[in-house]
A = this chain, B = another copy of it.
């Protein structure tokens, strides 16, 4: 087979494939913030596996631990039997993540994907409350299996279910009405009114930043008000931290800035630290009402992922140096993005931490920027209901220089596909 032959993908892989359509290349090797195609082209990767590669590709320390584990013939697949690797992960996660943050949640290992974690969260929330409805927010994304899809906003994806989707109510995300209405008026009022026709839900599920829904970031006070509303009405609060968690917004959990304590937390994507499938559902102890085996899955004991996860926690979260470094990069990123946005009419910076981007009024623009960036060696994707946002997610380990380079490439890409403000002013 010659280099860059993509015939087999076109003839044998399902039409459902998507990213490969935007980035017509065959990737082979990767390291840190870079990927290389098999014909040797280098790309600066500000996509980071949609948030699954927060520590970059093939981090040397993690790789070493992983290869040692495999070489030693340690248990790879264990369902939920006890293994040394799983014990090490639990101990480290408790010591470095939960305890320092005052969280006493128990850890459930669902199937190793984000949607499995969300399914587990919704099931246990319904079981514990005896209620059925889940409130989700406009433009939310929580996954593609039927339970998660019911709390996902995108109409194309919802239609893919081929059946109605049940037991979900929608509420406006922060700033959905541009401040025209008081926050949470609708939920607070209808939950109090026995004639409203809306039942009290089991839970509210929320992303602190809507990674797929257009990079809207909820204000800390909005999140606090949401937590308070839930507490007042006895409704559980689930934070889906699959994309925004594991340091992406600057702290390990994305909700730390707001100072709230969710009842249930969904983690996946970067929890293994190496792009290996893994997911967790964290539950307040009183919600751990599962029967043994009531929710299971073949790959809930994926030990190579436990090994890299443990190593990543030890490497990056044992003290606050990594957080400070991420904070610096985040500042650099937002400054850069703001600079670009200022140069274009109808462009706004969105997001928080290293989960950020630029929304364009003309919904076609972001897709064109993505293509122009690819031509220039930069991988960035789009987000939002109409793909109207260019989403910029460098690895958290990106260097200042790499980030500078990426911003420069993005600036060029934007300039190539849009008419900057200045020029348009000159023309005017």
Please give the residue numbers on chain A whose beta carbons come within 8 Å of chain B beta carbons, in ascending order. Answer: 1, 5-6, 8-9, 12-21, 23-31, 35, 38, 49-53, 57-58, 63, 66-67, 70-84, 86-87, 90-91, 94, 106-116, 119, 122-127, 132, 136-140, 143-148, 150-158, 160-164, 166-168, 170, 172, 176-177, 180-182, 185-186, 189-190, 193-199, 202, 213-214, 242, 268-269, 274-277, 281, 283, 288-299, 302, 304, 384-386
Contact = CB atoms under 8 A, between A and B. Distances in A.
Contacts of A94: 8, 12
B111 A115 contact: yes
- 8 tightest Cβ-Cβ pairs between the two chains A and B: A126-B162, A77-B275, A195-B385, A146-B147, A16-B290, A153-B197, A145-B145, A18-B293
Given A294-B157, A295-B144, A70 B66 contact: yes
A242 B111 CA distance: 14
A163 B302 contact: no
A384 B194 CA distance: 10
Contact of A106 (B13, B30, B71, B110): B13
A142 to B, nearest CB: 10
Contacts of A115: 111, 116, 145, 297
A83 to B, nearest CB: 5
Residue of A5, A19, A190 contacting most chain B CB atoms (<10 Å): A19
Contact of A185 (B73, B123, B181): B181
Contacts of A148: 145
B84 A153 contact: no
Interface majority SS (helix, strand, loop, mixed), chain A: loop
B304 A276 contact: yes
A192 to B, nearest CB: 10
A167 B168 contact: no
B19 A80 contact: yes
7 contacts: A13-B107, A14-B283, A19-B79, A26-B84, A113-B297, A115-B116, A177-B185
Residue of A13, A25, A86, A177 contacting most chain B CB atoms (<10 Å): A13
Given A14-B108, A28-B75, A139-B195, A82 B9 contact: yes
B20 A80 contact: yes
A18 B268 CA distance: 22
A292 B21 contact: yes
Given A116-B111, A195-B154, A277 B299 contact: yes
Contacts of A80: 16-20
B108 A111 contact: no
A91 B1 contact: yes
Contact of A112 (B75, B112, B153, B177): B112
A83 B5 CA distance: 11
A416 B424 CA distance: 76
Given A70-B67, A195-B154, A291 B181 contact: no
A182 B185 contact: no
B145 A146 contact: yes
Given A90-B13, A113-B113, A189 B176 contact: yes
A242 B298 CA distance: 10
A235 to B, nearest CB: 14
A127 B23 contact: no
A220 B184 CA distance: 28
A70 B79 contact: no
A350 to B, nearest CB: 14
B163 A164 contact: yes
B162 A202 contact: yes
A83 B27 contact: yes
B160 A17 contact: no
